[in-house]
Amino acid sequence: MDKDRITVLITGCGGAGSLGREIMKAFELSHHSYKIIATNSSPLSVGLFETSHSYLIPQANSSKYIQILLKICINEKVQILVPGTEQELEIITRNSTLFYKNNITVLSNPLRVIEICSDKYRLMKFLLSKGLSCPKTYLYDESDVEAINSFPVIIKPNLGSGSRNVYLAQDIDELVFFCKYIKKYGSEPIIQEYVPNIENEFTVGILYADKGKLSTSIAMKRILKGNLSTRQVMISPNSNEKFVISSGISQGLFDEFIEVREYALKIAELIDADGPVNIQCRKTDDKITVFEINPRFSGTVGARSLVGHNEPDILTRYKLFNEIPNTNNYRYGYVLKDFKEKFILESQISNLQNYV
């Protein structure tokens, strides 16, 4: 196998902030050479125009999705397949054996890890059973909400991850409203204790494979200011205290943060991860409280690569060549985000290779 030119296919290569596009950035920043294949179901996806090898494919819920994706992988001699959306992560992982039979390595955790992390209520109960600090979490039951007397609380769908449909509720009326709203559109809501200390929110990237044979970590303290990094900001009418829900777009300070990184590695081991994991937590004087775990690469993967910790590259080299990085060093400093426009001709869109 040629170590100097690896062909990688990334799904879900959308626009600014999309996971697929951030994974693309990481491979582009690598010191190793990669041929990048990009796919998406929408022709108006910026990521498709960041490489000369792009395909329009059906959405992940299509009966044709896996066969078309496999066909592209075989035709392009793909060695590494990286899911770039949550929907594609699950369906690709369920069919990972099909890809492995064709010498295509999927960069994902086992399905059991994806399933426990995607069920937030189950995950919080599991972590609490292991003695870890987690926010109190309840399944929504309209008859029991009066028992909740500490606000604000977070309302969000139980299944899946990310910052979509996450809300702050300041009282019972808002709690019921947001829960009913989430239920109306087909999701089961959970109610979660709000974790304070917005000045110490961390996003931690873990690579944990083969029972710790590969084990790396990197932590960023998030800047929760401005429209880019925050989803919802609320000032309490009673205490004048500021409450913040972070968005899916991270910027902030990379530093050593040993305590936070070691805590996150412990969690990766507890959930028996075998791939990339992203852990979100807030730190107070006496504890670290975890409120979200994503069993995949995160949207911070591009920023991590910029400071010298390239998770997709590290995991690719480990899976293909059993390479393990000698050190866990990266540069300390701030990574700030911005948007960049791209002009695309109509003819470029019509020339996309279309499997939809």
* Total domain count, the chain: 3
CA distances for 214 relative to 158, 253, 324, angstroms: 30, 25, 6
| Residue finishing a domain among 141, 160, 193 | 193
Shared domain for 300 and 247, answered yes or no, is: yes
One domain, residues 171 and 225: no
Based on the fold, state whether residues 64 and 40 are members of the same structural domain.
yes
The residues pairing with 230 across neighbouring beta strands, listed in sequence order, are 246
Q: What is the pLDDT of residue 143?
A: 64
| Residue 281 domain flag | yes
- In the chain, which residues have pLDDT < 50? none
- Tell me the percentage of the chain whose pLDDT exceeds 70: 98
CB 9 within 8 A of CB 75: no
Strand order in the sheet with 189-193: 137-139, 189-193, 153-157, 167-169
Tell me the CA distances in angstroms from 254 to 205, 229, 251, 306, 310, one per residue in order: 11, 16, 9, 11, 14
Confidence at residue 164, expressed as pLDDT on a 0 to 100 scale? 75
Q: Are residues 30 and 59 in the same domain?
A: yes
Percent of the chain that is helix, strand, coil (3-state, to 5): 35, 25, 40
Assigned domain for 141 exists: yes
CATH number at residue 125: 3.30.1490.20
State whether 16 and 104 are in the same domain. Answer: yes
Triad 109, 117, 125: Cα angle to 5°? 140
292 shares its domain with 245: yes
Q: For residue range 249-287, what is the model confidence (pLDDT) as tens digits?
A: 889 999 999 999 999 999 999 999 999 999 999 998 889
Is 113 domain-assigned? Answer: no
Same domain, residue pair 53 and 168? no
| Domain assignment of residue 1, yes or no | no
What is the model's pLDDT at position 250?
86
* 299 and 277, same domain (yes or no): yes
223/122 same-domain check: no
Does a cis peptide bond (omega within 30 degrees of 0) precede residue 43? no
Question: At 337, is the secondary structure helix, strand, or coil?
Answer: coil
**Six-digit token string for 337:** 């985000």
At 87 the pLDDT is 93
Global pTM? 0.94
Q: In the structure encoding, which two tokens stand for residue 263, read together?
A: 């805590």
The amino acid present at 116, given as its one-letter code, is I
Query: What token pair was written down for 102?
Result: 């064709």
Domain identity same for 142 and 166: yes
User: Same domain for 244 and 294?
Assistant: yes
**Distance from C-alpha of 27 to C-alpha of 8, rounded to nearest angstrom:** 9
Same domain, 327 and 202: yes
| Residue indicated by tokens 């044979």 | 213
Query: Could you list the residue range(s) of the whole structural domain that residue 168 is in?
Result: 118-193
What CATH code is carried by the domain that includes residue 256? 3.30.470.20
